[in-house]
A and B are shown apart, each in its own frame.
Chain A
Amino acid sequence: MLSSTAKNLYWMGRYLQRAKTTARLIEATQRMALQSRGKEAEAVVAIFGMEDEFRHSLVQNQNHSQRQNGSGKKQLSDLVDFLAFDENNPSSIVSSIGSARRNAREERNNITVDVWESLNGLWLELSAKLRGDRAGLDRGALIESVKKQAVMIFGAAQVTLLRDEAYNFFQLGAFLERGDNTARILDVKYHRLMPDGSPHAENLDYFAWSEVLACIGAVRTYRRIFRSSLDPMKIAELMMLRRDVPRSVHHCLWMVDLSMRELADIYGTHGEADRLAGELHARLRYARIDKVFQMGLHAFLGGVRDDIATLSDEIGRQFLLD
């Protein structure tokens, strides 16, 4: 397998996952905005560290329409357009799907027809709906469709891809992105709801906290696991440390470590990326939630996020020959 193939599959996994996270995040944010006051838009762009880009896009659009500043509704629909359908935003859903499709197209011969067709189908639907006048666009339905089809693409990958090197690079990309996304969501949302970082709330904003869980689709999962009312510390535990929750940081880094070991078996080599993947996995696996809060949730998550970024660089250095 060519290094460029490894690279394309890695990024295809990352972009697909990013599109999926973003779709889910937008839905959770919209629901939250309907139930509480507050400027949710800002919190969401903060998750992706795109406050400046978002403000810039608002200024750009100002010229085309007269809008009242500070109108919460207006800002929310701007946010949806920015995060989902703005081709100038490289992290938007439409840009991510476009990038994933470009990676896939270059590797048509290394992925199955099922994976290619499901991804190409989603891209065709998005480009058809976004072409021309967007006034009558049913944004909610389109985001819902992205979410559903992304699940189908990942499903096609699970069911049909040969378990070879290429598959492991796809897995690496998808799970690194997913772990990073969950860490970001928890970090930013927790800080907004609990600026002092304390593990327990006096007057819990029930809706706000259930929407944090909804960002990773884990509201019912929480009930199944804890059988208790919402508690910020337990929410943090679920999103970070539970190995059985498929979007938890721990689960994702476990999967990353597994794929790294597979690759080490295939190639018979070890490097800094293998060490770091093992260390990150172990850190999440053996962490205790009370100790995490003692050291500070923000500091802990910050360390994890930094190391995920370093791991991505090391993978590039070790295998993909950038």
Chain B
Amino acid sequence: MAVKTFDEMRSGAEGAVRPPYEGVARWLEATSAERLAATRAEVDLFYRRHGITFGAYGAVDGAETTIPFDIIPRVIAWDEWQYLHKGLVQRVRALNAFLADAYNEREICRAGVIPEAQILMNAEFVSMAQGLKLPGGVHAHIAGIDLVRVGEKDFYVLEDNVRTPSGVSYVLENREVMMRLAPELFSAMRVLPVADYTEELLSTLRSVSFSDDAEPNVVLLTPGHYNSAYFEHAFLADEMGIELAKGSDLFVDEGRVYMRTPRGPQRVDVIYRRVDDAFLDPLAMRPDSYLGVAGLLGALRAGRVNIVNALGNGVADDKSTYTYVPEMVRFYLGEEPILQNVPTYRGDRADDLKYILEHMPELVVKEVHGSGGKGMLVGPTSSRKEIEDFAQLVKARPDNYIAQPTLALSTCPTFVAQGVAPRHVDLRPFVLSGRKITIVPGGLTRVALKEGSLVVNSSQGGGTKDTWVLSPEAATAD
């Protein structure tokens, strides 16, 4: 794939700066390297003092690290965002329709669009969730859809995340930092705000309570402060003004969920859980879990508490179900998909497997249930030995792998040790579904800080950028 990489700033007509980036280009020209470096140092200090940290699982106190933040914003024009917005709403509506169907009648299987085994034999299928009728029919209340760009008009969906997608706290904190560090750039461009995310999240959570209380009691269930995303859990609970509970703070009595308070037990209506399915309820799932609440799934099935995101969403976002999402859009909505999938070869299809094994040096090969940039092979940057080893894994369990062409992810100017240089980026917008669908403009831009690297995961040396969606007036301003 010797396609030329699309640079979001420089790939204008005849190598000119693209219009959305004009402000950034001027700012970069007017700001000395020393000033940028000084700003960068300020950022690191700010993040550390704030305790905006990311600790790997099992890390002891003190082993917290910060995710590198790049001070050059990533810019998206208003019309580009309009297009993405429409596509995201459509895709998430289809995913929700699929999840409700997958745990009820499975019409899509009756119609022969998706084989039933794809759902029932999926390792992420949760039989306890069969037959659940959830408020509004919503299962994926918070969805993080990973997008990549390869050209002026070409966006692809790389992955859907409908279990417990994280990263939104960085969207909000990055914006705070950016406004503090580069007010001059900020005021020169018209950027749509993102700060209302938590407000929207809270009303989304309240809108899916089973009870008809005007103000249902919502709590955020966290695995605790050793979890790598603990900062985000605390941040979101704080911003929403709801309790941040651990499993031990909650209990079930007579089919209702309560939280322990100095005033006595208080009823809980909606649980925004950041605990994985398997750990939610030791009576129903893993009996050795200390993170969950005994009897929780009983209360859910009795319609006494709603759990967000719903149980068993993993059947919709693994890398093999992914290949069916365009079909879901057609089946449930009767529309043509706006956002495209990356062409994907499935190890469980004989033709595809043959193609994968023959073309490994040019493909990205991934585990169906893998995440965090682990269990994958990037063909073009791997050695012959690595490719051969990985081919053995694929041959041993073909159904556990999919492969995609190596995409030339777009690049954005990024501040690195050598100065300002292009680095590959992706984008994770957060889509909220309750009684309505809302998306705050932009999302989390992740950037691969290593030159040439296509892996943007924070556990693999990725960083983040503030993402600016320009307001419609910005196009006509200046």
Contacts and interface: CB of A to CB of B under 8 A. Distances in A.
B238 interface: yes
Given A2-B249, A263-B262, A108 B234 contact: yes
Interface in A80-119: 98, 101-102, 105-110, 113, 116-117
Nearest to B246: A4
A185 B249 CA distance: 38
Interface in B195-241: 224-225, 230-231, 234-235, 237-238
A3 B51 contact: no
A319 B50 CA distance: 30
Nearest to A116: B51
Nearest to A3: B260
B22 interface: no
Contact of A4 (B61, B231, B234, B249): B249
A206 B50 CA distance: 47
Interface in A97-150: 98, 101-102, 105-110, 113, 116-117, 120-121, 124, 127
B237 to A, nearest CB: 4
A109 B51 contact: no
Given A98-B61, A108-B238, A109-B234, A1 B49 contact: no
Contact of A3 (B61, B244, B262): B262
A117 B248 CA distance: 27
A234 to B, nearest CB: 41
Given A4-B246, A106-B225, A121 B262 contact: no
Contact of B237 (A109, A113, A266, A269): A109
A156 interface: no
B372 to A, nearest CB: 23
A117 B238 contact: no
Contacts, number: 67
A165 B51 contact: no
B48 A124 contact: yes
A269 B243 CA distance: 22
15 contacts: A2-B245, A2-B259, A3-B249, A3-B261, A4-B260, A5-B243, A6-B262, A108-B51, A109-B235, A110-B238, A113-B50, A117-B50, A120-B49, A266-B263, A320-B262
Per CB-CB distance, the 9 closest pairs between chain A and chain B, nearest first, are: A109-B238, A108-B234, A319-B262, A109-B237, A3-B260, A109-B234, A2-B249, A109-B244, A120-B51
B273 to A, nearest CB: 16
A286 interface: no
Contacts of B244: 2, 107-110
Given A4-B245, A117-B49, 4 more contacts: A6-B262, A107-B244, A113-B50, A165-B262
Interface in A1-42: 1-6
Contacts of B248: 4
B202 to A, nearest CB: 13
Nearest to A7: B262
A321 interface: yes
B334 interface: no
Contacts of A109: 234-235, 237-238, 244
B344 to A, nearest CB: 40
B62 interface: yes
Interface string A155-178: 000000000010000000000000
A266 to B, nearest CB: 8
Contacts of A110: 238, 244
B253 to A, nearest CB: 14
B243 A2 contact: yes
Interface in B39-59: 48-51
B291 to A, nearest CB: 14
Nearest to B219: A2
Interface string A308-322: 000000000011110
Contacts of B243: 1-2, 5
Contacts of A267: 262-263
A319 B238 CA distance: 23
Interface string A233-249: 00000000000000000
Nearest to B224: A106
Contacts of B224: 106
A83 to B, nearest CB: 21
B249 A108 contact: no
A1 B248 CA distance: 14
Nearest to A263: B262
Nearest to B243: A2
A120 B52 CA distance: 11
Contacts of B235: 108-109
Contacts of A127: 62
Nearest to A102: B61
Nearest to A118: B49
